[in-house]
Structure 1
Amino acid sequence: MSFHWLTPSHLIVLGLLLVFAIAHSGLAALRPWGEQRIGPRLYRVLFALVSLPLATVLIIYFFNHRYDGLQLWQVQGVPGVRPLVWSLSAISFLFLYPATFNLLEIAAIQKPQVHLYETGIIRITRHPQMVGQIIWCIAHTLWLGTTFMIVTSVGLVLHHLFGVWHGDRRLSARYGEAFAAVKARTSVIPFLAIAQGRQSLKLQEFLRPTYLGVAGFVLLFWWAHPLLIQATANVHW
């Protein structure tokens, strides 16, 4: 069987994902130790200075090589596929970005803290970023249909599945029985705790300006998507 389609970019993107995962999860694990020594604000700045450049390199490389490898299917011209992909992408952002609600903490203007939430989207799933990433990967794998996209999706999903274990472990170490109680009332699988009667959905908790901000970001990204592709194409990686 010929593997002529297995371009070096398949392995490179896995390497970039691995470097990002080690840096991102490693710095998250070292957060208590680092904050004791340099303070929460400075550690947040350090976290951003490491994570953001790695993420930028990864995003640019992904855009420039997304059609590499073997084209397994082509459904971009099929009626209904484009709105389905955009709808799934929009839903994925609603799961991916609840952590950005505390913008002042992310920017280190306010003191960054570790929060133990059990409201809003956490009632649906305890790990919304993992769910959002899986939805995003499904949408883009459907749209692109390439082996490179499949390899990228597998790497992203594995990283976020590790993040589920890693995040629960860190919260358990920090909050102990309080997190155990939250864990008992929530679920990783979306809507499972609600279906089992361990949790209830309160729609009023979603009526927040921050969700409008996420919706605005989705519209902005939809508008800027062609510009982003054009800009990354000018970087010859």
Structure 2
Amino acid sequence: MRTLPALALAGLCLLLAPRALADGDPARGKQLLFERGCAACHSFDGSARPGPTYLGLVGKTRKVTTQEKPREIVADEAYIRRSILEPNHDVVEGYMPGAMPGLAMREGDVDHLVAAIVEIGGAPKPGPAKGEKDGSLGVLAAATLSFVLGHIGLSSLTLRRPLIQRLSEKGFQGVYSILVLAAFVWMIFAYRAAPYEELWRAPAWTRFIPVVVMPIAFFFMVCGYSTQNPTQMMQEKAVGAEPRGIVRITRHPALWSFALWGLAHIPPNGDVASICLFGGIASLAIAGMLHIDSRRKIALGEAWEPFAAKTSLVPFARGGVGKAFAEIGIVRFVVAILLYVGMLHGHRMVIGVSAMP
């Protein structure tokens, strides 16, 4: 008879055991966390992201607001499942309602997600969380400034001419490329190590901005690097030729591709580090257009004026769009689309975050 209470207790434990751990596959759940975009806002290792980390989540007491009433709850499997299906039911203190979009999915997928989060959300390992103190925003700002000012400074006639006299044109281009590449690599590593400091919580609709803008950016990039253009490096002699293709639309197509890339990624990334990185790239692209126009005007003299009069810095400002697209041809459109599709599929593997909204 004494065994009955023990058996009853064991049966009760089995009934109350987390269903996700029995039915869900944590490995499949981790795949879904990336596919559904959850990994874009929640880290697995305690590092800073827009949303709370999954590490150490299970069993943690959380202050939430439920139906406009504050309360404390313990993060268990039921809470995790509810947060997936009804993200606005329990809003964690410090976060706005609607920040996490609801996910329409099959019940089996919910089980997989819960199982993965429960597995990741066990007790955190001792020591500082990864990525939280590896870098600083000051280092990122310095790296970004070196990247932007290095480009403009080394391209200015004040520095460029004496350096070419000492190093030759090819020698200067080699040194220029090495220094700019080094600054770029430093900026990327500084960005990855920088802490997350939120300036605004990006609405869900902002995730569609890069998806819409990036095909245009790829189109400008492909056309810009495959069309003769006196604004491009070492193509100054083309200033006397009639503008063709994308140059009829803008004389700085490649720089516009980088400007669009940077600007499109600012709204969905409302943190200081992202604004520094993407804002720096966009600023360099826009400043580069003005800088190149000024430098070409000085270097080419009267030969620059007819070309500048037939083209524009701002896209589509001079008209002639129909003729421009006819000269661009279908091949460049196809290449741009293929690059865009490749970016959509490879973004998570390369960047660590899905490009899909």
Tell whether the structures are fold-level matches, with TM greater than 0.5: yes
How far apart, CA to CA, are the structure 2 residues paired with 1:41 and 1:188? 28
1:20 has 2:142 as partner: no
In the TM superposition, residue 135 of structure 1 has moved relative to its aligned partner by: 2.0
Partner of residue 179, structure 2: 50
Q: Whose helix proportion is higher, 1 or 2?
A: 1
Give the alignment of 1:1-237 within 5 angstroms: 9-29=136-156, 30-65=159-194, 68-76=196-204, 78=205, 82-96=207-221, 98-101=223-226, 112-114=234-236, 115-116=238-239, 118-194=243-319, 201-207=323-329, 209=331, 212-230=334-352
Amino acid across the alignment from 2:200: L
Give the 3-state SS of the residue equivalent to 2:267 in structure 1. Answer: helix
How far apart, CA to CA, are the structure 2 residues paired with 1:10 and 1:175? 41
Contact 2:222/2:332, CA 8 A, preserved across alignment: no
Amino acid across the alignment from 1:229: I
Q: Which has the higher contact order (CA 8 A, sep 6+)?
A: 1
Structure 1: stretches of 5+ with no match in the other structure:
1-6, 103-110, 231-237
RMSD: 3.4
Give the 3-state SS of the residue equivalent to 1:144 in structure 2. Answer: coil
CA gap of 1:186–1:226, structure 2 versus 1, over 3 A, is: same
Contact 1:44/1:112, CA 8 A, preserved across alignment: no
Contact 2:140/2:191, CA 8 A, preserved across alignment: yes
Partner of residue 234, structure 1: none
Cα distance per residue 1:9-59 (max 9 Å; x no partner):
444333212111222222222444444443333332222211112112222
Contact 2:249/2:324, CA 8 A, preserved across alignment: no
In the TM superposition, residue 228 of structure 1 has moved relative to its aligned partner by: 2.0
Contact 2:137/2:273, CA 8 A, preserved across alignment: yes
In the TM superposition, residue 88 of structure 1 has moved relative to its aligned partner by: 1.0
Contact 2:219/2:332, CA 8 A, preserved across alignment: no
How far apart, CA to CA, are the structure 2 residues paired with 1:69 and 1:212? 39
How far apart, CA to CA, are the structure 1 residues paired with 2:140 and 2:333? 32
Q: Whose strand proportion is higher, 1 or 2?
A: 2
Amino acid across the alignment from 1:94: F
Q: How many residues align?
A: 210
CA gap of 1:128–1:113, structure 2 versus 1, over 3 A, is: closer
Contact 1:88/1:135, CA 8 A, preserved across alignment: yes
Q: What is the percentage of aligned positions where both structures have the same residue?
A: 22
How far apart, CA to CA, are the structure 2 residues paired with 1:64 and 1:211? 36
In the TM superposition, residue 171 of structure 1 has moved relative to its aligned partner by: 0.9
How far apart, CA to CA, are the structure 1 residues paired with 2:293 and 2:299? 10
Contact 2:151/2:180, CA 8 A, preserved across alignment: yes
Give the 3-state SS of the residue equivalent to 2:251 in structure 1. Answer: coil
How far apart, CA to CA, are the structure 2 residues paired with 1:63 and 1:89? 22
How far apart, CA to CA, are the structure 1 residues paired with 2:333 and 2:189? 27
Give the 3-state SS of the residue equivalent to 1:191 in structure 2. Answer: coil
212-221 or 118-127, which deviates more: 212-221
In the TM superposition, residue 168 of structure 1 has moved relative to its aligned partner by: 0.7
Amino acid across the alignment from 2:176: F
Computing the radius of gyration over CA atoms, which structure comes out larger, 1 or 2? 2
CA gap of 1:219–1:166, structure 2 versus 1, over 3 A, is: same
Amino acid across the alignment from 2:146: V
Give the 3-state SS of the residue equivalent to 1:143 in structure 2. Answer: coil
How far apart, CA to CA, are the structure 1 residues paired with 2:305 and 2:339? 34
CA gap of 1:213–1:34, structure 2 versus 1, over 3 A, is: farther
